[in-house]
Amino acid sequence: MSQTLLYGGIEAGGTKFVCAVGTGPEDVRAEIRFPTTTPEENIPQCIAFFREQSSIYGALTAVGIASFGPVDPHPHAATYGYITTTPKPGWANTNVAGAVQQALDVPVGFDTDVNGAALGEWRWGAAQGLDTFIYLTIGTGIGGGAMINGRLLHGLIHPEMGHIPLPHDWQADPFPGRCPYHGDCLEGMASGPAIEDRWQKKGQDLPPDHPAWDLEAHYLALALHSFICTLSPQRIIVGGGVMAQPHLFTLLRQKVTDSLNGYVQHTAVLENIKTYIVPPALGAHAGVLGALALAQQRTMDASASFQ
C-alpha cells in the first residue's frame, strides 16, 4: 500500500539541504536544493516547499528527515528529532523533526544522514534483500550507517564509524590528521579535506596515478577490515565525493582482500569482492531518497504498532 502514498523527504546536509516529494526513485515529483545556513532560514524553506507541493499533488502521508549529526534518533527520548551537539554555528540543540511535525501536522521519521541513505539503498538500491550491511560516506566527513538484522542501528546514540582510530605509520605518512577531537582517526586521515590538507590539492584535482590514492585506499581498507570483523556485514556500500574516483574501488577491494588475508571464509569476500564492496545504486539522489525511505518506514512502523 505504502508504495503509492506520497511522502516528503529532507536531506539535511552540512553544506546543502535537499527536499523532495514523491513515492520512490521512479516517481520524484519535485525537488529543491538550497545551501545550509541557519535553522531559522532553512526550516521555513523546507516547510514552504512541502506546503506548495502538497497543494499541487495532495497531502503528504509522512515526512522523513535524514540529518547531519550528531542527532538524537531515539523516539522516546526528550530530545528525539534534535540535532544535538554539533559545532556547526547555530545548529546545536535544534529540534528539526519537531518543527516540521508541528508546522505540517504529519508524522515525521528522523535519523542520521547515513542511516537514511542505508535505508534508501535497502529499499530501492544496492542493499535490496539484505538484512545486515553498512553504508559509508567518504566526503567532507566520514560517516557510517548500519542495518543489523533488519533494523537500523542506533545503540547508545548512533554509530560514529568515521572516528575509529587507525594504525598510523608516521614515517610513511607524517600528516597528523585533522579531526579536532582525535587528530589521526579515520575521518582525520581520509576525508576529502584531509586529502586536501595532506597534498595541498583537492581530491578532484589529483591524477589517478598520484600516491594519494594508494594511501587513501590503505586507510579505508583498514577501516573496512575492522567493520567486517565487528559487524559481519553482507555488503558494504561506499559513497561520498571522494569515491567519485573510480580506480579507488579497485584499490580498496584489493587492499581489503590483502588485509583480511583469507580469514573471513565466505565466498562474498573471497570470490565476489566486486559485489561485496560497491558504490551506492541510487547515486546522487541517495541522500534525499533515504529521507523518503525514512518517511515510508515511519508510516509502516505506525501501522504495525496499531495491529
Given phi > 0 = left and psi -120 to 50 = alpha, else beta, which region is 240? left
* Footprint of ligand ADP on 185-244 (CB under 6 A): 192-193, 196, 202-204, 240-242, 244
9 φ, ψ to 5°? -135, 140
SS3 at position 144 = strand
Q: How far is the CB of 226 from ligand ADP (least distance, A)?
A: 21
Q: How far apart are the first and last CA of the chain?
A: 15
At residue 148's C-alpha, the angle toward residues 20 and 255, to 5°, is 95
Using rule CB under 6 A, residue 25 touches ligand ADP: no
Binding residue (CB under 5 A) for Zn ion from 28, 95, 163, 173: 163
CA distance 101 to 105: 5
Of Zn ion, ligand ADP, none, which one does residue 204 interact with (CB within 5 to 8 Å by kind)? Answer: ligand ADP
Part in contact with ligand ADP (CB under 6 A); list of ranges 52-60, 90-98, 132-140, 266-274: 132-140
What sign for the dihedral angle of Cα 137, 70, 109, 12?
negative
Of ligand ADP, Zn ion, none, which one does residue 57 interact with (CB within 5 to 8 Å by kind)? Answer: none
Q: Which residue number, 9 or 240, has a Cβ lying nearer to ligand ADP? A: 240
Q: Which residue number, 178 or 298, has a Cβ lying nearer to ligand ADP? A: 178
Cell of 200: 595541498
Distances (CA, A) of 102 to 46, 99, 246, 294: 13, 5, 43, 18
Site map 183..202 versus Zn ion, x via CB under 5 A: --x-----------------
Cell of 133: 550491511
Q: How far is the CB of 161 from Zn ion (least distance, A)?
A: 11
Where does this chain bind Zn ion (CB under 5 A)?
163, 179, 181-182, 185
Where does this chain bind ligand ADP (CB under 6 A)?
13-15, 137, 139-141, 192-193, 196, 202-204, 240-242, 244-245
